[in-house]
Copies of this chain bind each other. A is one copy, B any other.
Amino acid sequence: MSETPLHPNLPLMLLQTREEVINRFRPILNHFGVTEQQWRILRVLRFRVSMEPKEICETCLFLSPSLAGVLARMEADDLIHKERMESDLRRVNVSVTDKGRALVDTVMPLIRAQYLLIEQHIGRETLGELCAVLDRLGAYDWEAIPSVALPS
C-alpha cells in the first residue's frame, strides 16, 4: 500500500478514451452531415416536446455561448425550431422539426449497432465497469471540492 500519490494525468486519460469512442461513431455522424454536438442535442430533444436552452446546456454539457451558435446553425439547417415564450420574453423554447426527428430515427439504430460492436470487442464487463465508475463520479458535488491557494 503505497502512500505515493499517483498524480496521473486524469484529464488526458479521459480525453483519450473519449476520442477512441467518438472516433468509432464519427463516420456515422459525418455520413449524415451532423456534428457530434448537434447529435448530443438531437438525441435528447427527439423525445421531448421542447427544451429551453438552459436545460439543453445542463443536459448536453454546453456553455451558453457555444449553444447559441450550434442552435443557430441547426435552425438554419431546419433541424430545430426556436420560439420565444409568451409568458417570459427572455426565455426560448427549442423543439425538433420533422426533418430532425426523421434524422434521429435514421441515425439512432446505426449508433446503437456501432455501440454493440464496441461492446463485443471490448467486453461488456469493462465497459460496464467504466459506466459504473463514471456514474458514481457524476453523483459527486464537484463544486464542493476546495481549490488550492494561488500565489498573488
Contact = CB atoms under 8 A, between A and B. Distances in A.
Contact of A5 (B11, B27, B31, B115): B115
A119 B18 contact: no
The size class of the interface chain A forms with chain B is: 35 or more
Contacts of A86: none
Interface in A1-27: 5-25, 27
Main secondary structure on A side of the interface with B: helix
21 contacts: A5-B112, A5-B116, A7-B112, A9-B40, A9-B43, A10-B115, A10-B131, A11-B18, A11-B36, A12-B61, A19-B61, A24-B145, A28-B150, A110-B150, A117-B148, A121-B140, A121-B145, A126-B136, A129-B129, A130-B133, A130-B134
